[in-house]
Every structure is written in C-alpha cells, then in structure tokens.
C-alpha cells in the first residue's frame, strides 16, 4: 500500500456520526485535516457545534436504556466482532493513522493491534461485571452489591494514539452498558470516524457510539458536561486541559477519569545489562517518535556506565531512517504539527544554552513537513527546562548520577507520576526501587508498559483512575448497594 491515499477507504465518514446517521455540522462548518509529512490539506471534516453536542447527547440518551438492558453476552459478541473487523482492516487503519498523525507505519501497525485488543479484552470482561452478596456484620440483613452502568459517557481523546485512545475508552464503556460520545482531537479525527463505521458494522446499535469532531472543543465539551444527562467524562490529554475539564465537570459533579501528561524518568543503574537498557531506551523514547505520554523524558544513568550508554544510544538514534510515516522504510515520521516541532526545538536550544552537549541531532532538518532529528543530549543541567516538561519529540536528555537515592529523588521530583523505567540485573533491587518511584506504572527491565490487560494510569497530576485490565471497566460502573431482609 505504498501509494496509499484516502480514496482507498471508500466507507470513511467525513461528517459527524450521530444516532446512526452521518450528518453535516448544524452550521455547515468544516475544518482541514493536514498531512504532517507535507503540511498539505488531506481532506476536510464536519466541525461540530454546541447544537450538535446537544444532538449527540440526545442520541446517546435515546439509546441508553436499550443498551444497558442488552444482555452482556450480546454486548461482548459485538465487541468481539469489532476486534475481528479491526484485525481484518488493520493495514487500512494503520495507513490512515500514519497519514493524519505522521507516525511511521511500524508504529501505526503496533497501535492498530494494541487498539483492537481493547475490544477483545472488554468483550471478555463484559460478562464479568460481578457484584457481591454478604451477611451484614449485625446478622440483621444481607448486603447485596450490584454493578450498573454509570450512564452517558463523554470521551475526549488526544491525537497521539488516535485509534488506541478511542478503543481504550469505548471498549470498557460499551462492555459496562454505557452509551458514548467521542470527541476526537482535531488533528486526527479520521481514525475515530473510521472506528465509528467499524463499530456500526460490528452491530453496535444506532446512538450507542456517537463521534463528534469539533475544532471548538472548549464550548462543545462544556455543553455536554453541563447537560445533566451526561454522567461520565473520560479524558486523555494534557494536564493543562485536564485541569480545565475537572473544573467544568464540577458543576454537575460528573464522574471523571483522567489520563494526563507524563515526564517519565528512565533509570540505568550501575549493574544494568546495557544491551537491554539501550534496546529498552529506544522503545521507551522512540515509540511514536517520542509523542507518547509514556515516553522516557529524562535518562538518569549511573556515572560508571553513562559514557557507554550515551555512546550506544547515540549510535542507534543516528541510524534511524526519518521520512514520511506512510513510506515503507521509514522508522521515524514527522511530528504532528508545526507547533510541536517548534516546541521541541525550543526545549533543545534552551538545554544547549544551559550547558547541554548535542551528541546527535539537535535541529529541524531542512525539508518540508514537521520533522525533528533524533537527538541525544549529554551533560544536561538538572534545572534545564527540558527536564521539567513533556518533550513530546525524539529527544533523549542524559543526566549522570552517582548515588541511587539521588537518582530516585530526581526521578520523583516532578508533578507528574505516570510511568518510570528502571534497568538493573538485580531483580530484588529493581523491585525495591520500583516501590520507591512515585508513578502509576513501572517498566522494570522493560521499555514498554502498555497492555490492554493491565491497569494503565498515573499518580499525582498524571491522572485519576485506570484504563485497561479489570480496573478499566470499573471506571464505567457504579456500585449499587441494596440492603435486603429475607
């Protein structure tokens, strides 16, 4: 599919998907979707309005009672069918992700498989929403706990994993019996629209999944959060926008799950297997060209191995083939937009001005599109801005440490707590350090933590709640306690 173009996906909706219909925006507005490899317009998509947001809630509301009453086995089979359709159409989906997001095809294929797995996993979980029964300690009655769907869920997703961030929310919501409105990121609405089509083909009834692309995200999401019929917000995106939405959700006390930003430390202890650590670093840093909330942002490397680790990492980074995401031999695609590439460059230049040394990369290449060269920085001062913010690009800053306790203190010195990585040959030491790292997830001798079967999420300002695993469905269920005498 080297010459892939959008026309290859004949059934891709380009309007709003509301109540089982594909409809234009109420004011006829549309917005451009760009190709990050060239900056050219790929296509335009309907730009949802506040009126459309109300219509989306109407559609989700009309379908809510029927979907909640649908037998769990039937909901499971529909989700399973969605997994199978995604798997059958995986090449098309991967190309579409590459086209609108820019990521290299191997990353897009990885995302497609990961995204489909959420449908398979929650097909399996749909039939396991068990409650409980116990005798009250007084002996006077029974305590029966039922699990019921929380209600209409608004799902807001980022551009960096346009398929997986959608399925990670839609899968558990549908399994739990909730109807949803998905507001995808405006840089990448196409993949979400194709998901709507696939879910419809899998047998999801009209109104259960509604997709509402909108450039004016603020007013559109706010309108839904102020509609008393909406009971759930699941947001993935930046901590900054997460704070705004938590405030918005407060007015109607909407139940919130928040998957926010990260600033992952990657610790290489003196006894680490350096081959494994460099392999892990390449995954933790370079998956999606560094545009991942889980991306290793700060490499703390023991002084005994820092020079060798830096040398090997630089060698691997400089060998990467940079190019358009949809080309078969590309390993690193462009960043999502011009602003992202400019921000990465600003952080790198700031670190250099503060005393960091560029080993490889360190600039935007002279070509069209939103590219950044894979970069390794050595001797990064501990107070450099690049260590305090999400880089969201292919840049690895290395900081040397001598004392393990210092490394842990520096790793935890951030308002984020999504994920940390540790490399050591001593498993007991690794587990001890893992316990001391303030993060929702730890990769111990592994550069990849994401797994649909595991609870993904962060501590501190990286979020509230978990997605994936058994825990992921609990975020869409409400416990109802019935005190019974019999």
Residue in 204, 248, 208 with CA at minimum distance from that of residue 226:
248
Distance CA 239, CA 232 (A): 18
Q: Which residues have a catalytic role annotated?
A: 259, 293
3-class SS string, 183-233: ECCCCCHHHHHHHHHHHHHHCCCCCCEEECCCCCHHHHHHHHHCCCCEEEE
> Which residues in 183-194 are b (16+ Cβ under 10 Å) and which e?
bbbbbbbbbbbb
Minimum Å distance from CB 10 to ligand NAD?
26
Residue 74 vs 339, nearer CB to ligand NAD: 339
Residues that bind ligand NAD (CB under 6 A): 156-161, 165, 183, 185-186, 217-218, 221, 236-238, 241, 244-245, 259-262, 293, 390, 418, 458, 463
Locate 443 and state its tokens.
């990769």
Nearest distance from C-beta of residue 321 to ligand NAD, angstroms: 25
What length does the chain have? 486
Rounded to whole angstroms, how far apart are CA atoms 459 and 58?
35
Q: In the bound complex, which residue of the shown chain has the CB atom lying closest to ligand NAD?
A: 237
CB nearer ligand NAD, residue 101 or residue 147: 101
Nearer to ligand NAD, 9 or 185 (CB): 185
Nearer CB in complex with ligand NAD: 219/355: 219
What number of other Cβ atoms are within 10 A of residue 345's Cβ? 18
Question: Shortest Cβ distance from residue 450 to ligand NAD (Å)?
Answer: 9
Residue 239 CB, nearest approach to ligand NAD (Å): 6
- Of 327 and 412, nearer to ligand NAD (C-beta) is 412
Least Å distance, CB 411 to ligand NAD, is 17
By beta-carbon proximity to ligand NAD, the closer residue of 67 and 161 is: 161
Per-residue buried b or exposed e for 38-71, using 16+ beta carbons within 10 Å of the residue's own CB? eeeebbebbbbbbebbbbbbbbbbebbeebeebe
Dihedral sign for Cα atoms in the order 420, 411, 350, 315: negative
Write down the least CB distance from residue 340 to ligand NAD, Å.
8
């Amino acid at each position: 599919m080297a010459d892939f173009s959008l026309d290859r996906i004949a059934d891709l909706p380009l309007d709003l998907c509301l109540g089982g219909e594909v409809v234009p925006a109420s004011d006829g507005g549309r917005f451009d979707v760009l190709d990050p490899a060239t900056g050219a317009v790929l296509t335009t998509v309907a730009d949802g309005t506040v009126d459309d947001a109300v219509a989306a809630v109407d559609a989700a509301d009309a379908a809510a009672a029927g979907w909640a009453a649908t037998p769990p086995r039937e909901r499971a089979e529909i989700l399973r069918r969605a997994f199978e359709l995604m798997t059958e159409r995986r090449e098309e989906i991967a190309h579409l992700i590459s086209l609108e997001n820019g990521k290299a095809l191997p990353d897009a294929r990885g995302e497609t498989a990961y995204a489909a797995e959420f449908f398979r996993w929650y097909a399996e979980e749909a039939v396991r929403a068990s409650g409980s029964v116990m005798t009250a300690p007084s002996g006077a009655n029974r305590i029966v706990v039922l699990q019921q769907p929380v209600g209409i869920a608004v799902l807001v997703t980022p551009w960096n994993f346009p398929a997986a961030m959608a399925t990670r929310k839609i899968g558990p919501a549908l399994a739990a019996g909730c109807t949803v409105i998905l507001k995808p990121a405006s840089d990448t609405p196409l993949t979400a629209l194709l998901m709507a089509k696939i879910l419809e083909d899998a047998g999801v009834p009209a109104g259960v999944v509604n997709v509402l692309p909108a450039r004016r995200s603020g007013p559109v999401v706010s309108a839904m959060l102020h509609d008393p019929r909406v009971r759930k917000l699941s947001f993935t995106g930046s901590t900054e926008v997460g704070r705004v939405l938590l405030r918005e959700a407060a007015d109607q006390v909407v139940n919130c799950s928040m998957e926010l930003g990260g600033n992952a430390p990657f610790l290489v202890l003196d006894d680490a297997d350096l081959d494994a650590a460099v392999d892990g670093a390449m995954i933790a840093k370079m998956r999606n060209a560094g545009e991942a909330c889980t991306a290793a942002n700060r490499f703390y490397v023991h002084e005994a191995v820092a020079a060798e680790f830096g040398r090997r990492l630089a060698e691997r980074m400089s060998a990467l083939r940079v190019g358009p995401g949809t080309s078969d031999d590309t390993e690193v695609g462009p960043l999502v937009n011009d602003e992202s590439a400019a921000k990465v460059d600003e952080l790198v230049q700031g670190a250099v001005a503060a005393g960091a040394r560029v080993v490889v990369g360190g600039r935007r290449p002279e070509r069209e599109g939103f590219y950044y060269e894979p970069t390794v920085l050595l001797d990064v001062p501990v107070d450099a801005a690049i260590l305090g913010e999400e880089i969201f690009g292919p840049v690895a800053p290395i900081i040397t440490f001598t004392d393990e306790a210092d490394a842990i203190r520096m790793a935890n010195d951030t308002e984020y707590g999504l994920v940390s990585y540790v490399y050591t040959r001593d498993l007991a030491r690794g587990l001890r350090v893992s316990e001391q790292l303030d993060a929702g997830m730890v990769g111990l001798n592994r550069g990849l933590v994401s797994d649909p079967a595991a609870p993904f999420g962060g501590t501190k300002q990286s979020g509230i709640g978990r997605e994936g695993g058994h825990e992921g469905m609990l975020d869409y269920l409400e416990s109802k306690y019935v005190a019974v005498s019999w």
